[in-house]
Every structure is written in structure tokens, then in C-alpha cells.
Amino acid sequence: MAERKTHARTDPKTGSGANRTDPRTDAADPRADGRDDVFISKKMSYALRHHPEKYGLKLDEFGFVDLKQFLRAMNRVHHFDPPLDEATIRGIMRRASKQRFAIKGYKIGALYGHSFAGQVRRVAAAPPAVLYHGTAHRFVDSILREGLLPEGRQYAHLSTDIPMAQEVGRRHDPHPVILRIDAARAAADGVTFYEGGPRVWLVDALPPRYISVMDQTM
């Protein structure tokens, strides 16, 4: 049986309790190449989540790669000016509204969102009693009928709080539907959950009996 770990609680309505930095108080210096945090973060995601092979990178079983090798590959492919370095990467991670990447020892990796072939190894963990999933209206019927599926990623993604679920759902619908996930019951029934980040949880797939539509008039 996989070892399970505990987690910090987060207010589901406000998202408070997560490690968040106000980017207005920690602005990045302008770069000669004009590329901002968003541009660099997207390229990092592409390399670490989706197509590491296009950068000549081979991730380990947990989705991490040598940081120096990663920096060399990023600079070779994108010709950053000044060259991307560890301090720049750490600054982008610190200023981000949510934690997408982690540096552990001498390696860097994406915490969630992987779509490349295979599956990143994860450690099972006990989830919060309730989780959330934001989605477009057009997807609700199929989710309630078939459950939550990875849909092109390695895992289905869940949120610890409603604001996070709304942020995710707005990628597909300006007024997303928020689904309530009975994670405690699902875990008790044997569904395995994995912690993806401070406000993100992952699951291989989730049957529809644990999913309900929230009353959004509240």
C-alpha cells in the first residue's frame, strides 16, 4: 500500500493558507530580450510538462531533470538575453500566483500538468475532505455521466478551493461551473489521490458518483 502523507488546510472559499506572493511587490527587472515572466514560464512548462524531448531533456521518474542541463537547453533553444540562470528561475517561481515548478536539490521539475507519453511517478496522499473542479458548461453533462478523466494529461486535476477552481475553469468558460468533489468518500472507497502543489490535487480518474454541481447562487 502506498504511503500517505498529510497536508496543510486551505480555506475553500478564499484560497488563503497557500504560499502566494503578491507579484506587485516583487517585480522583475526588464530584460534586454523583452521577455517577461509569463513568456519564460510558458517555455518552462512546454519543456517540463509537454515536450522535454524537443530540448534534449530526459526527465527522471518523478518528472525532474538536472537544473544546469535544463538551463543550458533553454538558452540554446530560446537564445535568452541575458541568459536564463537559476536566480531568474527562482524569481519567476517566487512571483508566480501559483506554484507550478519546484527546485529540489540540483533538479527542477513541473509539479503537475504533464502530458508527455508515460506517467510521472507520484506518492499517494490523503486528500482534503472536499476538493473542487472548475469546468465549462458544455463539459458538465459528460463529466456527470463518465466522471473526471485526464483529457490529454497524465492525471485529472482538482483544486483545494473555489477561487482556484474558478481560475482554472475560466480557461474554457468565462462563467465556469464549479463541481464539488467528495474526496473523503472517494479515498475511503479506494480512489488514489496525489498532491500536485499547494492548491492542486491529482487523480488518475474519478467516477461520477463522487461529483456534484455546486449551487452557485450562494
pLDDT digits (tens, 9 = 90+) for 202-216: 999 999 999 999 976
**Where in the chain is CATH 1.10.10.970?**
23-110
Torsion over CA of 54, 111, 78 and 23, rounded to 10 degrees? 160
**Residue 19: per-residue pLDDT:** 40
CATH dotted code for 130-213: 3.20.170.30
**Residue 26: per-residue pLDDT:** 61
Where does the pLDDT of residue 172 fall: very low under 50, low under 70, confident under 90, or very high at 90 and above? Answer: confident
- pLDDT, tens only, 102-122: 999 999 999 888 887 777 888
Nearest residue to 190 via CA among 177, 176, 209, 173: 209
Which percentage of the chain shows pLDDT scores above 70? 86
Return all residues near 107 (Cβ < 8 A) that are at least 6 apart. 60, 64, 65, 66, 67
Pick the CATH number of 23-110 from 3.30.390.30, 1.10.10.970, 2.30.30.90, 3.40.50.2300: 1.10.10.970
What amino acid is encoded at 174 in this protein?
P
- pLDDT, tens only, 85-95: 999 999 999 99
Write down the pTM of the prediction.
Answer: 0.65
Q: How far apart are CA 36 and CA 27, in angstroms?
A: 10
For the residues 137-141, what does the mean pLDDT come to? 94
Size of the chain, expressed as the number of residues it contains: 218
**Residue 15: per-residue pLDDT:** 58
From the number of C-beta atoms within 10 Å of its C-beta (0-12, 13-18, 19+), residue 126 rates as middle
pLDDT at 217 over 80: no
Beta bridge partners of 135: 177
